[in-house]
Amino acid sequence: MTDHRSKVTTVDPFVIVERPEDPRTDPLRLEYTVHPAPDSEGGVDLPHARWVADLADRHVNPRWDERFEVVDGALRVGIDGTETTLTEGEDVVIPATVPHRHWNPTPEPARVRYEARPGLRAAEALETLYTLAQAGRTDEEGVPNPLQFAVIQDAYPGYFYSTDQPRILQRAMVATLAPIGRLLGYEATYTRDEMGPLRRSSTR
């Protein structure tokens, strides 16, 4: 294992550095480890599962600006059709409502500092998605099943949308599926402390 791999793989893969004191104005800051590209050759297996932050899907965050800074490795960022690769020490700011995608294009893991401004309840939403993936409650790409995802999206309205479908259709699907998901016992928020019970639970 190279020094680079050792440095990235031995740190906590998801760290909330700073929660906003005033969620309406203050930023959320966190650090996370990004998996290598799934199709890369000679990649390294990380001790944590992939989650939605590893996806390269194009999406929109309507309610906050985002900032990504590469601590180690590389991050490919596409904004409005223009792509660039960030390396150590480089950063990019993505304004709210601008369609974008980001992923690790290399066979090596990357470490990224992330900021959402204003922070709102992004910490809770992201921790929930991370926790579900680590508890084995998502698919191989880290995406929860439609009912679970609808419950989350309903609790955090307007936080993120895919660009693959019209927003009105996505909102309609959430409005339809979220009540069913709640009836089946899916919750909107999970913390890392709940990974054990989630793993033991047979509810899917």
**CATH classification of the domain holding 144:** 2.60.120.10
Q: What confidence category does residue 77 fall into, taking pLDDT thresholds of 50, 70 and 90?
A: very high
Q: Does residue 16 fall inside a structural domain?
A: yes
Nearest to 113 by CA among 18, 3, 2, 9: 18
Instruction: With a cut of 60, say whether residue 9 has pLDDT above it.
Output: yes
Buried b (16+ CB within 10 A) or exposed e, 36-52: bbeeeeebbebebbbbb
Q: Does residue 204 fall inside a structural domain?
A: no
Q: Residue 10's pLDDT is what?
A: 81
Position 170: which residue type? Q
Instruction: With a cut of 60, say whether residue 86 has pLDDT above it.
Output: yes
**Segment 149-168 mean pLDDT:** 96
Q: What confidence category does residue 1 fall into, taking pLDDT thresholds of 50, 70 and 90?
A: very low
CB neighbours of residue 62 within 10 Å? 13
Q: Does residue 12 fall inside a structural domain?
A: yes
Q: Does residue 200 fall inside a structural domain?
A: no
- What's this model's pTM, rounded to 2 decimal places? 0.91
**Segment 28-49 mean pLDDT:** 85
Tally the domains of the chain.
Answer: 1
Q: Residue 41's pLDDT is what?
A: 58
Domain region containing 132: 3-195
- % the chain with pLDDT above 70: 93
Q: Does residue 141 fall inside a structural domain?
A: yes
Q: Does residue 203 fall inside a structural domain?
A: no
Q: Residue 29's pLDDT is what?
A: 99
φ, ψ at 103 (rounded to 5°): -165, 165
Q: Does residue 25 fall inside a structural domain?
A: yes
Q: What confidence category does residue 42 fall into, taking pLDDT thresholds of 50, 70 and 90?
A: low
Q: Does residue 109 fall inside a structural domain?
A: yes
